[in-house]
A and B are shown apart, each in its own frame.
Chain A
């Protein structure tokens, strides 16, 4: 089966700056594909090219196997949910949803039926006669999606549509969007700078930086097996060191940081003794223990002092300073075991070499 959306060697230059640099990807039918990256990385440029508001400098965009480069935006089988939704304020909800159908010259009665169906689908029956500004943020969100979905596009583009919502609603809409995608069974291409949105909803995520795709994979791939230092640093949090490789035996490495801390790690790139490398260890991969016996057979074991406790509910952390003076962020387990932990307490910490990813650093 042909992929719903395929971008081949897509390049977009604005004057001297290259916003999108040779990006290729394909999105299989019915899947939820996210492009995740910091602001200014070129993700919106890709989306606008797919929607047809920008012409690529070179490369091709294919939808269901057909190039759409010469198709204007109003003829492309893709629709877009805009960042601020862009509902038409001068129309009612029903007129908003029916707008695209009216453009297709569909008979009035059929439009009315389809609009009602769409409103049922998004769980807001009977609001058709209301004005846009009478709806809440979450309801507007759903109307914006319904407005596109009545047109049965091959691909639905979503440009950070949750950005304007408050945290609680955003969490709720994440689940809802995923459910809507399953209900409509349409390919979603979702753009965001919020990793948790991408990780929760997506089948496939492309991490983008400075106009290029750093890595494409599912959430687990990106989180557990980052390909590049950027991905390791961008997805989730990480303790980060730069150091020199002391020993290399195949994938197993030992790295010494500038403060003299020796860490056993696993190579992701090809690394040899003497290379400069960057090392990432996630706070949640580090175990906190009262005595060194509890650390089992972890390759890395350290002793240190708690310098501060960063309480944040389930995501609480402690900062631990080891003897060499390095400060590490360690996830604080909420099992009650460490509820009496205080600043200045002595703790043991440890992590496996497999949890420490090592990348070739800038020499």
Chain B
């Protein structure tokens, strides 16, 4: 009986173990091993940290690395600022059917692939696109306006792609906030701002933190949006990894980049949790 239960438990655990082992742990160990070897000549390798050294000294690599980090944080902050009022409206102000419809509206863009969604922005923003035509038609511009291929366009794309992942956790936590707690905040003399700061935001904190972590990771690891909407100067770190692996066939450097990205996201997520005084355990519920 006991032995049977044990086998059942192991069988139930198997998909998780396989998933973690085959797709995450083994590739990462392999990646790490690749990243610390140096090719001396054909088929001859030596262990060295030369690729990390290269990544950390080459200005272009380093600049892209930090830019990607800062831009991802910025995209997360902008997403939070836009998603919070949206989520508050859906969770607390909309009632019944309207609530469901609004929630669905947030979800609908995700029915089409990310590529098509991003292409939608290109149709809007490009030189011969809709907005450019509208501006000319309204007389606000006397020649076609190019709004693509810059940081702003890329930021728009990143925020748009991440929106749902911020709205969903926020709506969930805000829905659990009792209306009378907010009313009590006003009743006891609070203004809109102080109720937001002292009651609503502290209550929504688990949602804010988990939403931010997800959005940050998605932005950091995004490849499509920076490539399609970003300009020559908007190089994203994932593009560099792609280039090393696929274009230059330099797996060693690519693996080193990959590991740097992993360390970066871990450090920033850890910092975010420290900053808000939460543990990963609390945030994941």
Contacts and interface: CB of A to CB of B under 8 A. Distances in A.
Interface of A: 51-53, 72-75, 79-80, 82-84, 86-91, 99-100, 103-104, 147-148, 151
B206 to A, nearest CB: 11
Contacts of B194: 103
B186 A73 contact: yes
A9 to B, nearest CB: 25
Given A51-B187, A88-B198, 16 more contacts: A53-B186, A72-B186, A80-B183, A82-B180, A82-B183, A82-B184, A86-B181, A86-B183, A88-B181, A90-B203, A99-B185, A99-B190, A99-B198, A103-B194, A104-B189, A151-B189
Contacts of B186: 53, 72-74
B185 A88 contact: yes
B202 A79 contact: no
Nearest to B183: A53
B109 to A, nearest CB: 33
Given A88-B199, A90-B202, A90-B203, A103 B184 contact: no
Interface string B173-191: 0000010110111111111
13 contacts: A51-B187, A53-B183, A80-B187, A82-B180, A82-B183, A82-B184, A83-B180, A88-B198, A89-B181, A89-B203, A91-B198, A99-B198, A103-B189
9 smallest CB-CB distances across A and B, nearest first, come from: A103-B189, A100-B188, A86-B184, A90-B202, A86-B180, A82-B180, A86-B181, A74-B186, A73-B186
Interface in B150-206: 178, 180-181, 183-191, 194, 198-199, 202-203
Contact of A100 (B189, B199, B202): B189
Given A90-B199, A90-B203, A99-B198, A79 B180 contact: no
A138 to B, nearest CB: 19
Nearest to B181: A86
B187 A74 contact: yes
B227 to A, nearest CB: 42
Given A83-B180, A84-B180, A86-B178, A73 B187 contact: yes
Nearest to A83: B180
Contacts of A53: 183, 186
A84 B177 CA distance: 13
Interface of B: 178, 180-181, 183-191, 194, 198-199, 202-203
A52 B190 CA distance: 13
A103 B190 CA distance: 6
B55 to A, nearest CB: 43
A245 B143 CA distance: 95
Contacts of A86: 178, 180-181, 183-184
Contacts of B185: 88, 99
Nearest to B192: A74
Interface of B, secondary structure class, is helix
Contacts of A90: 199, 202-203
Given A88-B199, A90-B203, A99-B198, A79 B187 contact: yes
Contacts of A84: 178, 180
A235 to B, nearest CB: 29
Contacts of A100: 188-189
A130 B199 CA distance: 18
B188 A103 contact: yes
B188 A79 contact: yes
B213 to A, nearest CB: 20
- Most B CB contacts (10 A, CB to CB) among A91, A100, A103 go to A103
Contacts of A74: 186-191
- Most B CB contacts (10 A, CB to CB) among A52, A80, A147, A151 go to A80
A99 B180 contact: no
Nearest to A76: B187
Nearest to B194: A103
A88 to B, nearest CB: 6
A47 to B, nearest CB: 11
A102 to B, nearest CB: 8
Contacts of B198: 88, 91, 99
A119 to B, nearest CB: 17
Contacts of B199: 88, 90
Given A53-B183, A86-B183, A90-B199, A147 B178 contact: no
B180 to A, nearest CB: 4
A90 to B, nearest CB: 4
Contacts of B190: 74, 99, 103
Contacts of A87: 181, 184
Contacts of B203: 89-90
Contacts of A147: 188
A80 B190 CA distance: 13
Nearest to A157: B187
A73 B189 CA distance: 8
Contacts of B183: 51, 53, 73, 80, 82, 86
A80 B189 contact: no
Contacts of A72: 186
A92 B185 CA distance: 15
A129 to B, nearest CB: 17
A88 B185 CA distance: 8
A86 B190 CA distance: 14
A334 to B, nearest CB: 42
A75 to B, nearest CB: 8
Nearest to A72: B186
A219 B23 CA distance: 74
Contacts of B178: 84, 86
